[in-house]
Amino acid sequence: MSTNLISSGTTARQKVNLRTPDVMAAVQQQVESHYRSDIIEKVRRAGGIISVGDTTVRLAKQFGFCYGVERAIDLAYAARKVFKDRRLFIVGEIIHNPEVNHQIASLGIKNLTGKNKEADISDLGPDDVVIVPAFGTELSIQQQIKDRGCQIVDTTCGDVMSVWKRVRKYASESATSIIHGKAEHEETKATSSRALGDGSGHYRRGPDARGYRLRLRLHPARRRQTGVPREI
């Protein structure tokens, strides 16, 4: 089974293009019906400011889903349309948004991990499709899914993968990565699993990283990324 990430967002025995024009046109129509707001559009048309009586509403300049989240949602909807007759699963929540996760569940996509777990990885087979969320997933979980021979739709955010690249580099240099984030968050755990490299890397996260907060402020990461300055 191929482990290469291809442009369609899938990794598996067979390359499947999820982003064909007809599929994406149908996806966009469905996504807009679920997440588009006439009220928000009205505020935007008014320049981001609207007043009703003595109440003024100002819309944040950066409002809505980021590119990585939009891509993850699009690929999940596309997977449901392309793999119509196959079972679909997801590793945890695609993002931390109850409404989005409700819509994903309504597509018949079942959760493999977390508090809303509906199925076990051990129950998967070669005909099943598994979606990796925008946060990514731990290497051990990823390997278990690959071992089951499943079709994988990888929606991991590009910014998250950039962090993985950095911690792997630090691991190759026997450096310690300081992961400043919630210890049990999916993205933190996914990054931690890559910080050991071939066994020569190290990492600190959660409570163990508290003593490094001042140092991390000198290395600000982009939004949603975990700061990983080098430690010798």
Catalytic sites, residue numbers? 187
Pair of tokens at residue 96:
């931390």
Q: Which amino acid is at 178?
A: I
Pair of tokens at residue 209:
């990283």
- Residue 58 DSSP symbol: E
Residues 130, 160 contacting (CB under 8 angstroms): no
Q: Which amino acid is at 152?
A: I
Residues in the chain: 232
Residue 53 CB-density burial (10 A; 0-12 exposed, 13-18 middle, 19+ buried): exposed
